[in-house]
Structure 1
Amino acid sequence: MTLKQDDFEYAGLNSRDDLQVEMGNVVLPSAPAMAEQVTDIPAMYGNQFNGMDFTSRTISIPVSIYCADNQDRFNQVMHNLSGLLLSDDPSDNGKEYPLIFGFEPKVTYWGHITAISDSAPINPGMYDMTLTITFVQSDPRATLPQVEKPLNGGLNTITVDGTARTAPVIQVIPKRDLKYIGFSLNGGQFGLGPETPNDQANAIQSDIKVIDDPIASMAMWTNNANAIGGIKTDDKYHYQGSADINSNTTSMKVAYVN
């Protein structure tokens, strides 16, 4: 759904259609809450600066409810508003949801609702009310739409919008079985797959292991179909229950049929 200029969307809920409110003028904060970290050193001129704490960012969203003299409708809108924005499901506690404004639909703010103020009348004696929804971002940054680009041979330069650093998400879809995938980027290295040589050797096995004879004994082997009929690998029969011994090397292999 395309957002109108004076609409917002929170957790997939449209302010006008789902919450039945009209958004007022939203003034975005210029920066998150910041706190200077310093240490006082005895007999030192000045103090030791230990950096800045960049914490959460708060966005206040003024909204209006227009119900004229219909108190029942106003009560229903308020119940819907609090019920949709403030979940009573314990499993939802700790979750954050996307917030998108109609005046900048490409920007997404991730956060949570911390307060819904008491409603104040616009016209005395009527149920036209205004209130404020307080939205807090744990991570004060905003996100822009994801940019997808296939990697080509040589140097790959991907330019994205925004003012903050962003980390690439690399998706590899192999066309054949691979034990390890890696490439170098600006002097660094990136690898996908097991790290240790032993794990790499077992990551993709070229053959399906269907027999195991650690004591090199054939005493317990049988070709009886009743004994081996229930043995399957990924719900498919990969062998017919017979084994061949190479007299030259004394190695054993599965005898495939068809």
Structure 2
Amino acid sequence: MDKARFISGILMALIVTGLILFTSDLPLWFIFNVIITLCCLEFVRLRFSNLTASISSIFFFASAYIFKDILFLNLLFVTLSFFLWISLIPFILTFPHNKSFLQSSKVWVLFGLICFLGFSAGVNLVLFSQITLNPEFNTRGILLFIVCVAAFTDVFAFFIGKFMGERKFLQNVSPKKTLEGFIGGVIIATLFLSISITIFKEVSFISILLLVFITSVFSIIGDASASLFKRVSGAKDSSNIIPGHGGIFDRIDSHLAALPVFLFFNFFVFHLI
């Protein structure tokens, strides 16, 4: 992990934590959706012209604002997002045999639409929908939970893969990933966060263990999916805006999957929130 990546990673973590803890709901919604709009811009530019990317980004932000208070649409896009990430698993595992299919403009539009609106819908549900609230889990706690799951999984997977990794994992999509890093990152992040949460919150350890585990796995699927589309486009990074990390899409790819999947399982399976 190079110095620029480490420093920018720490700074981003501090900034995001500060925003989550000290920013009121509407400004926080605006900040999140500006970030996702820029992420959308980067993603579309991997496949289409700058003009198309700009128009798509404006469309996304307008849609996100319209959907903000419409519960049905937010639940719909969170659900669609969950099934999107599930459906991408075989494409990740079989790449590059499916490269010609993934190059289709329709595939890019469908992925971008559900991916970014699904994440925005998750933010809407967390910040503005009372059905997500439980005295044990406030809105800030949910957002910090997602950030922590994605961050801890990524960090533990990186170091375990670096010092213990021998077997390549998803080599055609992300050559640096190892099976040991994947398994170790998920297990250690799951145990660490589950134990930490149950120390401070009166929740079922088994339920929170399963929830953290699922969210952790899907954070890696989100990361691998971003790598998949970058491979299809022939790009190493979505942009170079963040030193050591590349673009915004590169930095928050795991969160794009983690938040809607977390909410999907809470609404329809675990009922923790």
Q: With structure 1 as the length reference, what TM-score do the two structures score?
A: 0.19
The alignment's TM-score, normalised by the length of structure 2, stands at 0.18
Higher RCO, 1 vs 2 (CA within 8 Å, ≥6 residues apart): 2
More strand by share: 1
Structure with more of its chain in helix, by fraction: 2
Larger radius of gyration: 1
